Structure 1
C-alpha cells in the first residue's frame, strides 16, 4: 500500500508544526481527510481512524464551549485511536488543550491559516495524487489544446520529434521518455513526469533540451489527464483504410480504458497535424458530434 508521511504533507502544504515534531515520520495511507463530529459525542462506529483529522472553527468552538472534563473526554476519545495527525485550520490560537493531548499521545498537531473548506480541497487533492496507484511507461505525454495525449511507439520512431513540433504549434509538453501514469478514479488517468526528467525533451541529433528555458513557461505543464493513447508505427501499404469513421479501440492502463489510435508514419505526412485532428475529433465526440453521421445525413437528404 502506498503511503506518504506527515512530513511530506507539512512540506507540500507549508503547515506549522505545533507539537509532535519528532513524529512527522508517521504514515498516511488514506487519501481523504476527516472532520470529526459525531465522534465528539461518543459515536465511533464508522470513525476513519487512519485518516488525517481536520479541525475547523466549528469543531474548535464546540470544544471550547465544553467544560474541562467534557473536553478531556471528547478529545481523549479521538486521540486514543492515534490518527496520523491533527490539522487546525484558519490559524486558530485557542488550542493549548489540544496540544497537551497530542503531546501526551505523540500525535503531530499542525496548523494552517487557510479556511477549512479551501484547505480540505487542497489537502484531499494532494493526498489523492500522492497515494494514487501508478505505473511508468515508455513514451511521451503532451497536452494538445487542453487534451492529454500519450504518444507511444518503438524507440527512434519519432515520438520526441513529434512532441517538439507540437510545442512549436503552441501545445504543452508534459513528459518525455518516462511517463508516470496515476489512477485518480475509475475513469481518470493522470499523466506526469518522474521529476528527474521534468522539462527535459531528448531529440536525436540535437540532444537534451530544456523546454521551459527554450520556449518559455507556457510550453510546459506538470500533469494532464490522459484521454487519448496514440501509437506511432511504421508505414504499411494497404494497412489503413478510408472508412468514414474508424471503429473505437482502447488501451487499458491500471484498469482505465483509454481510446487508442494508430498513426502510421511516412515521409511528408503531417503527423503533428493528425494528432491535433485526433484530439479535436475526440473533443467533438464528447459533445455528441460525429462528422460521419452528419455526412451520411447529407447523403440521405440529397437522395430524397
Structure 2
C-alpha cells in the first residue's frame, strides 16, 4: 500500500510543527482530509480517523467556547483514535490544550497560515496524486491543445517521432517511453512521467533530446488528464475504415474506459495532423456536436 509521511506534508506545505516533532515519520495512507466537527460533539459512527485531520476556524472557535473540562474530554475522544496528524489552518492561536494532548499521544500537530478551504484543496490534490493506484505502460504521453493523449504501438513504429512533430506544432510532451498512469477517481486517469525521463524524448537516428532546452518550457508539462488512447500501426492496404461514423472503441486502464483510435502510418501521411483532428473532434463530441449527424441532417433536408 502506498503511503506518504507527515514529514513530506510538512516539507511540501512549509507547515509549522507545534507538537509531536519526533513523530513526523508517521504515515498517511488515505487521500482526502477530514474536518472533525461531528466528532467533537460526540458522534463517531463515520469518523475517518485514518485521514489527516484539519481544524479550521469553526472547530477551534467551538473548542474555545467549552470549559476546560469539556474541552479536554472532547479532544481526548478524538485524539484516542490516533489519526496521522492534526493541522490547524489560518495561523490560529490558543492551542496549548491541543498541544498538550498531541504531545502525550505522539501525534504531530501542525499549523499553516492558509485559509481552511484553500489548504484542504491543495492537500487533497497532493495526497490524491501521491496515493492514487498507478500502472506504468510503454508509450508516449502528449497534451494536444489541452487534451491528454496516450500514443501506443510496437517498438519502432514512430511514437516518439510523432510526438516530436506535435511538439513542433506547439503541443506538449508529458512522458516518453514509460508513461505512469494514476487513477484519481472512478472516471479520471492522470498521465505523467516516472521522473527519470522528465523532459526527455528519444528519437531514432538522433538520440536523446531535452524538449524544454530545445523548444522552450512550453514544450513540456508534468501531467495531463488522459482522454484519448491512440494506437499507431503499420499501413495495411484496404484496411482503413471510411464510414461516416466509426463504432466507438475503448481501452481499459484500471477499470476506466478511454476512447481508442487506431491510426495507420505511411510515408507522407500527416499523422500529427490526424492526431490534432482526433483531439479536436473529441472535444466537439463533449460539446454535443457530431459532424456525421450534421451531414445526415443536411442530406435529409435537401
TM-score range for the pair, normalised by the shorter chain length = over 0.9
Q: Residue deviations 1:171-210, cap 9 Å, x none?
A: 1111111000011111111100111111111111111111
2:73 maps to 1:73: yes
- Give the corresponding residue for 2:141: 141
Aligned-partner SS, 1:23: coil
2:120 maps to 1:129: no
What is the deviation of 1:246? 1.3
> Matches of 1:200 and 1:232 in 2, distance apart?
21
Q: Residue deviations 1:76-103, cap 9 Å, x none?
A: 1111110000001011122122111111
- Give the corresponding residue for 2:159: 159
Q: 5+ unaligned residues in a row in structure 1: which ranges? A: none
> Matches of 1:21 and 1:204 in 2, distance apart?
51
- Give the corresponding residue for 2:150: 150
Task: Give RMSD over aligned pairs.
Answer: 1.0
- Give the corresponding residue for 1:246: 246
1:200-279 residue pairs with structure 2 within 5 A? 200-279=200-279
What is the deviation of 1:50? 0.7
Q: TM-score, normalization: structure 2?
A: 0.98
Q: Which deviates the most, 221-230 or 13-22?
A: 13-22
1:15-34 residue pairs with structure 2 within 5 A? 15-34=15-34
Q: TM-score, normalization: structure 1?
A: 0.97
> Matches of 1:56 and 1:241 in 2, distance apart?
58
What is the deviation of 1:14? 2.1
> Matches of 1:276 and 1:247 in 2, distance apart?
20
What is the deviation of 1:267? 0.2
> Matches of 1:45 and 1:230 in 2, distance apart?
46
Aligned-partner SS, 2:136: strand
> Matches of 2:200 and 2:113 in 1, distance apart?
36
Runs of 4+ off more than 3 Å = none
2:290 maps to 1:297: no
Aligned-partner SS, 1:208: strand
What is the deviation of 1:2? 2.1
Aligned-partner SS, 2:22: helix
> Matches of 1:42 and 1:272 in 2, distance apart?
60
What is the deviation of 1:155? 1.0
> Matches of 1:12 and 1:153 in 2, distance apart?
37
Query: What is the total number of aligned residue pairs between the two structures?
Result: 302
Aligned-partner SS, 2:48: coil
